[in-house]
Chains A and B, each alone.
Chain A
């Protein structure tokens, strides 16, 4: 479904990505883990062409994303839940969700998606008239995920959805992610919280300073000694 081939991204002198190869198959949950500054966010943002790509290609099915303008990428069925949530603070919860469905023409489909999101996150329904900027961190994360789901996306990119959230909320978010995947939506999940990522991922890529250093099925990676030491707290 998604295939990143030999991707190089340089920010001026900083070589943030140095030849990334990564594949995501339909229906999978793929986790991308790595320390702060490894290049995880850069990888996700590159899919939407928001980074200076020096070399390499990104394919979504047969389409080379590196040849498209950023705003055309959503229409292929990819949605991003970015680092820091980036909800529109001065718009209401409902308006934020509507913006997620910006490309959906059919009003009935929008209604149906809204229903689906409100079912996953009843809290958003309670707060639908509230400005997004006044929500708590956890609620904003729910909103960011909900907004991505409004677009009928087949592939969801999630950048550290657990960041800054209390453990209970993290559990809640991840159980929703699992439900989303059961709806045949594919997930590419960036996480620092490797334990949580492993709990839902089928396959894992491990990243260090701009390179993929390890990849494989979750059980294999989770039992790797170096990974245990670096990411699973021993």
Chain B
């Protein structure tokens, strides 16, 4: 029992990171109907910005985190501006292929800059281990969970309560109508990329802290899994991405602990297949609204 609880705790830590990445997928999908396959690489870019901010400039963790988030949102906006915006009216498949191209570009650029070998992430927060009735909990797990939840609450507040958040929702529901109300949809879309990229970067820094290792291809697997998490929760639905992330993280850790750690990466894809067969609109999706 303690064992299962222990694994669930570990799963929640991992899941909160998936959730952070999944949010970017789901927001961009919601507003552009684009699966942004470069999103996992933004997560990687965020981790590296955090790496330099914490390691080379020796900044405190919180500041490094914020710098990584800001840096990644700039990268996200640049990608949107120069790779995706020119294709706004192009067939969706061109956009998808471009996203894959951007993904390769980011990975290879990073290899060019830092080399392909893994680097160990600056350990700016020393590990503390707590033993609560047999449950092992580290301060890093607590920090990861707290930061993730804080960011998700902040995001929810922005999307539901602020003017720009309402504009985001309006644009995702009807772009033309949004235009007719005077909403500059280009800036709203850019803002969406900035938000999603910032969250992914936070995920990247937290992964660096948790797993202590980063490299230019680190975004590929978490990116795919976060995408599955977004689909699981219902793509385009923000609370769905959070739910999907946590479920995926917990499922993955449980399977690797109690079945076999070699199939750990397969869990996400088995879940993807099941959800597509049983409930393609996702756990929180009521129906698929395809735009004409």
Contacts and interface: CB of A to CB of B under 8 A. Distances in A.
Given A91-B166, A91-B169, A99-B166, A82 B177 contact: yes
Interface stretch (B97-105, B126-134, B181-189): B181-189
Interface in B175-218: 176-185
Given A95-B166, A102-B167, A151 B181 contact: yes
B174 interface: yes
B162 to A, nearest CB: 11
Given A88-B169, A90-B169, A91-B169, A99 B181 contact: yes
Interface string A83-95: 0001011110001
27 contacts: A48-B180, A50-B176, A50-B180, A70-B179, A71-B179, A71-B182, A71-B183, A71-B185, A74-B180, A74-B182, A79-B180, A79-B181, A80-B180, A82-B180, A86-B177, A88-B173, A90-B173, A91-B166, A91-B169, A98-B166, A99-B181, A99-B183, A102-B167, A102-B181, A102-B183, A103-B181, A103-B182
A171 interface: no
Interface in B139-179: 163, 166-167, 169-170, 173-174, 176-179
Contacts of B185: 71
A181 B49 CA distance: 58
Interface string B55-80: 00000000000000000000000000
A98 B180 CA distance: 14
Contacts of A102: 163, 167, 181-183
Contacts of B169: 88, 90-91, 95
Given A70-B179, A91-B170, 6 more contacts: A48-B180, A70-B176, A74-B180, A99-B178, A99-B181, A103-B181
A39 interface: no
A130 B163 CA distance: 19
B240 to A, nearest CB: 13
A48 B183 CA distance: 13
Interface of B: 163, 166-167, 169-170, 173-174, 176-185
**What 5 A-B pairs are tightest by C-beta distance, nearest first?**
A74-B182, A70-B179, A103-B182, A88-B173, A86-B177
A75 B182 CA distance: 6
Given A95-B166, A98-B166, A99-B166, A88 B174 contact: yes
Interface residues of A, number: 24
Contacts of A98: 166
A74 B183 CA distance: 9
A138 interface: no
Contacts of A90: 169, 173
Contacts of B170: 88, 91, 99
Contacts of B163: 102
B166 A86 contact: no
A86 B171 CA distance: 12
A151 B182 contact: yes
A100 interface: yes
Contacts of B179: 48, 50, 70-71
B69 to A, nearest CB: 27
B183 A86 contact: no
A119 B173 CA distance: 27
A96 to B, nearest CB: 9
Contacts of A80: 180
Contacts of A88: 169-170, 173-174, 177
Contacts of A89: 173
A159 to B, nearest CB: 11
Given A71-B179, A91-B169, A99-B166, A86 B184 contact: no
B87 to A, nearest CB: 18
A100 B177 contact: no
Nearest to B172: A90
B84 to A, nearest CB: 18
Interface string A35-79: 000000000000010100000000000000000001111110001
A100 B170 CA distance: 11
Nearest to B171: A88
A70 B185 CA distance: 10
B180 A100 contact: no
Which residue, B166, B180, B181, has most C-beta atoms of chain A within 10 A? B180
A71 B183 CA distance: 6
A75 B179 CA distance: 11
A88 B183 CA distance: 14
A47 to B, nearest CB: 10
Contacts of A70: 176, 179-180
Nearest to A96: B170
Contacts of B166: 91, 95, 98-99
A50 B182 CA distance: 13
A90 B185 CA distance: 18
A71 to B, nearest CB: 5
